[in-house]
A and B are shown apart, each in its own frame.
Chain A
Amino acid sequence: MSIRNSAAEMAEALAKKEISAVELANQHYAQIEAVDKDVHAFLHLDKAGALAQAESIDKKRAAGEKLSPLAGVPLALKDVLVQKGVPTTCGSKMLEGWRPPYDATVVAKLKDAGIVILGKTNMDEFAMGSSTENSAYGPTHNPWDLTRIPGGSGGGSAAALAAFEAPLAIGTDTGGSIRQPAAVTATVGVKPTYGGVSRYGLVAFSSSLDQAGPCARTVLDTAMLHQSIAGFDPKDSTSINHAVPDVVAAAKKKDVKGLKIGIVKQLSGAGYQKGVENKFNDAVAELVKLGAEIVEVSCPNFEYALAAYYLIAPSECSSNLARFDSMRFGIRIGDDGSKGAEEVMNLTRQVGFGREVKRRIILGTYALSSGYYDAYYGSAQKVRTLIKRDFDAAFEKCDVLVSPTAPTTAFKIGEKSEDPLAMYLNDIATIPVNLAGVGGMSLPCGLADEDNLPVGFQIMSPAMKDDRMYLVGGALEAALLSKWGKPILDFAPRLAGSK
């Protein structure tokens, strides 16, 4: 058993008592100790809590108790989900030192499943960004090339997987924050159907777009984690009261014969790196070999998705982030006894929020203000309707849609940080999924010829048909693995000190 095994393999070894949960957690902590000074995937390690949990799983197993499939397997948790008593910062200075008094539903479900939470992972502040450079605690580095970004906002979770610091991770995806980091680190990430996984305890960026989801190194591991965290939650009014599709069975099926796969015309061409398009096309060819039928579909309104997203998300965030005012939690700046509450709020928010967060709050405040609402927020909500219609029409013709996950491979840290618009373009292929609330998966489909960096393949499913992503993803992954002869992460350069 090694930290390079899949979560499913680790679960099997734990079940057979070939390794204990405590040993497995310690192996991962050793790897974190060795590589995280370079990768910086974690913001906080909860070693005491994790080992106590691992020990209790081992005891239960020894006592012959029935455990859930992933019991004892370690996981890295994006720092945007609250965990009782464990620091939760959302990558922001604003929440430095805050320990939430409650667990997110996802966290409660992980604990119930016996999954061992190693620590909290780095992210763009309040999940706003595509590179994890917007973290107040310094950037995360891509294990494929430490000078490059690991994607964002969930760069910490993706990098932890790629650096073998954890076999499982939780991300959240508002415009691509699970899928784009998965793409640029050659890992797997899924944004479930909106409402499929509870948002209770997920610190909101954009409430109507946010969705927590599973991340791992294989499609099956991702499916197993998906099954553990999904399901109706009465604490989340937007949670879907509907049976979770059997994603694990779908991931294992590996049969796409006769399946209709739609290629979205608008998600290619200008702006897409050549190597990305090539690897995407190669993967489509593999699906054809497996018996899938390829259909080209047109989604003309996808062209407006980015614009709609950069109105809706900032608008909702301007309201969601209002509660960070230094009155009840978080840092407080300037309270020297001479200033009123309003002034202290102003100063705290000046210091506590980073540049990108402020930019979006101001943009959202503008888009919602009287006189501009109809032109901006209102129009964006209409575009959302049009994008949903495009998806509906496309899904009438095919079972899933596919595209490259991101237009380019990982760029250099600092390369786009001064140009917000260029940065926003990273999400051009992932955003339509969030606007329509449908499912989206990214899995690795190879390394781009020009830079030898990972390329992500996106699979989109209709709402509540998340199993289809796993069906196609599982089959494609198996075909590519046999083509490459070894897992894609084995092509990555070995990190200094890595176990």
Chain B
Amino acid sequence: MSAISREEVANLARLARIEMSDAELDHLSGEMQVILGAVARVQEVASADVPPTSHPIPVNNVVREDVVIPSLSPTDALSGAPASSEQRFKVPQILGEA
């Protein structure tokens, strides 16, 4: 079980887009250490010959026909928006590219 550093937690917070204070990072690094220690137990039995399960009840090929169904009205679509303008969601300036 490798230790998880405060820097690693800070990087995870960055990936997860959560601002964290130093105090939060300190506290969480400690907790992560304990929790990871406990959950790492899965490695004891997860041998190479065991296939992974993603869906508890296996089904395949669930599809819908290519048929248009009515969309939300723009008013409904934008109803929850913290801000909107020109029938669009208004958001703070987007810096950088995806």
Contacts and interface: CB of A to CB of B under 8 A. Distances in A.
Given A382-B51, A382-B52, A344 B57 contact: no
A359 B36 CA distance: 12
A277 B47 CA distance: 34
Interface in A64-113: 98-102
A211 B84 CA distance: 34
B18 A328 contact: no
Interface residues of B, number: 54
A192 to B, nearest CB: 11
A381 interface: yes
Interface string B16-54: 111110001000100110111011111111110011111
A144 interface: no
Interface string A481-495: 000000000000000
- Interface size class on chain A is 35 or more
Interface in A433-447: 434-438
Nearest to B47: A382
A194 B95 CA distance: 42
Contacts of A380: 39, 42, 46
A330 B80 contact: yes
A330 B89 CA distance: 13
Interface in A325-367: 325-332, 335, 337, 339-347, 349-350, 353, 358-359, 361-363, 365-366
Nearest to A353: B18
Contacts of B72: 101-102
B77 interface: yes
Contacts of B77: 101
A99 B80 contact: yes
A352 to B, nearest CB: 9
Nearest to A343: B92
A341 B15 contact: no
Contacts, number: 182
Contacts of A208: 54-56
B55 to A, nearest CB: 6
Contacts of B62: 237-238
A362 B32 contact: yes
Query: Which 5 A-B pairs rank lowest in CB-CB distance, beginning with the nearest?
Result: A437-B56, A329-B80, A381-B52, A379-B46, A350-B19
Given A101-B77, A238-B57, A366-B32, 20 more contacts: A301-B45, A304-B44, A307-B42, A310-B38, A325-B17, A329-B82, A330-B80, A346-B19, A349-B18, A353-B18, A363-B36, A376-B39, A378-B46, A379-B43, A382-B50, A382-B51, A383-B42, A385-B53, A420-B31, A463-B56
Interface of A: 98-102, 193-195, 208-209, 234, 237-238, 240-241, 301, 304, 306-308, 310-311, 318, 322, 325-332, 335, 337, 339-347, 349-350, 353, 358-359, 361-363, 365-366, 369, 375-376, 378-386, 388, 420-421, 434-438, 463
Interface of B: 4, 8-9, 12-13, 15-20, 24, 28, 31-32, 34-36, 38-47, 50-57, 59, 62, 64, 72, 76-77, 79-83, 89, 91-96
